Amino acid sequence: MHALFNLAVGPLAWLAFALFILGSAYRLMAMRALALKKDASFVAYISWPHALKSLAHWITPFGALGWRENPGVTVVTFAFHICLFLVPLFLMGHIALFDAFHGWSWPALPDTVADTLSIVVVAACLYFLWRRIAVPEVRFITRTHDWLVLALVGATFLTGVLAYHRIGDNLFMTTLHILCGEAMLVAIPFTRLSHMLFGFFSRGYIASEFGSVRHAKDW
């Protein structure tokens, strides 16, 4: 188990970060090239002022019609995504690892706060899970891929929380957590989670069409 732990925090972590960063960069560049090649008569209308204005509305809770009409999802998804970024980046446990391996360090969230936020993410995943099962319009469109990405995110956070609370075998749980986290990172450029990479562009593009061609808001 120790060997696996060492593998996970060492080479596999490198690999995961490399795949995540290089994979994301590759996906973005390949998509840009594809857009220029095949969507020239659409790319031509991209307008950053319109894109940014629209994005400002869409990253504001209840700042767009879709958010206002889906209040439950709005509250949960904002909480989920904010915590999703805050926890891994500002978790004492994570920073400690970076410090140990690279000597990098930055301010951390107090442990109890990080813990609470992590539990929020797990709860949000449960909410998403419930929606996929119980809300007919979500159930109708749910496929295996959606269960998998949700499970991946959920598992990463759940195992993290369990490890932190020393529930179960700690070494096992931490190792599992790390493996899940790495799998999730790698999954970002190559699965539905790529919405993190492309979401801003797809919104920005349609906002440009609405702003510069159609003179109408898209929020």
Partner 1 sequence: MSFAQSWDFTPGVRVVLDDMRQCSREYEWLEEPHVSPDGERVAMVAALPDPALSVAVNGEVWEATFEKVWYPRFSPDGRLTVLAQTDGEWTMVVDGEPWEEQYAYIWGTLFSANGDIIAAPIQQDGKYGLSVNGTPWETLFDNANQVTLSRDGSAAAAVVQVKSPAQADIAAFQEGIFSVAVNGVAWDSIFVNCWAPTFDPAGKNVATTIRRSLYDYSIAVNGKAWTGSYACAWGPVFNPATGAVAAPVRKAGAWGMAIDDAMAWDIRYGQLWHQVFSPDGSKLAAIAAVSFGDFTVVVDNTPWDIVFPVVTDLTPSPVGNRFAALASNHNSDFAILCDGKVWAGRYDMAYPPVWSPDAAHLAVTVEKAGRFTVLVDGKAYPESFDKCFDPAFSPDGSKVLIRAVAGGKYHRIVAPVAAFTG
Partner 2 sequence: MKTIADRLIEDVGLRRGVDRLTPEKIQKVFKELVAGECGARMKTYMETCVRCGMCAKACHYYMSHKDPSYTPVAKVSQTMWRLFDADGKVDPKVIYECAQVAYTECNLCRRCIHYCPLGIDTGYIISVVRRLCHKLGVTPQYIQDTAHSHSATMNQMWVKDDEWPDTLQWQEEEAREEFPGLRIPLDVEGADFMYSVIAPEPKFRTQLIYQAAAIFNAAGVSWTMPSTPGWDNSNMAMFTGDSEIMARIERAHYETAQRLRVKRIVMGECGHAFRAVYDVGNRWLGWKWHPVPVVHSVDFFWQLIQEGRIKLTHKYAEPVTIHDPCNIIRGRGLMEKLREVTHFLCENVVEMTPNREHNYCCCAGGGVINCGPPFKNVRIVGNSIKAEQLKATGVHTLVAPCHNCHGGLEDIISKFGLNMHTKFLGDLIYELMEKPEAE
Q: Contact residues for partner 2 (CB under 8 A)?
A: 31-32, 34-35, 37-39, 41-42, 44, 54, 58, 64-67, 69-70, 73, 77, 131, 135-143, 146, 192, 194-195, 198-199, 201-207, 210, 213-219
Q: Per CB under 8 A, does 134 bind partner 1?
A: no
Q: Per CB under 6 A, does 128 bind ligand HEM?
A: yes
Q: Per CB under 8 A, does 21 bind partner 1?
A: no
Q: Site map for partner 1, 154-173, x if CB under 8 A? A: --------------------
Number of residues that bind ligand HEM (CB under 6 A): 39
Report whether 132 contacts 141 (CB < 8 A): no
Residue 4 binding: pick among partner 1, partner 2, ligand HEM, none (C-beta 5-8 Å cut-off by kind): none
For residues 169 and 34, what is the distance between their CA atoms, to the nearest angstrom?
A: 48
Q: Per CB under 8 A, does 44 bind partner 1?
A: yes
For residues 81 and 128, what is the distance between their CA atoms, to the nearest angstrom?
A: 12
Choose the binding region for ligand HEM from 38-46, 100-108, 175-183, 207-215 (rule: CB under 6 A).
175-183
Shortest reach from residue 40's CB to partner 1, in Å: 4
For residues 6 and 45, what is the distance between their CA atoms, to the nearest angstrom?
A: 50
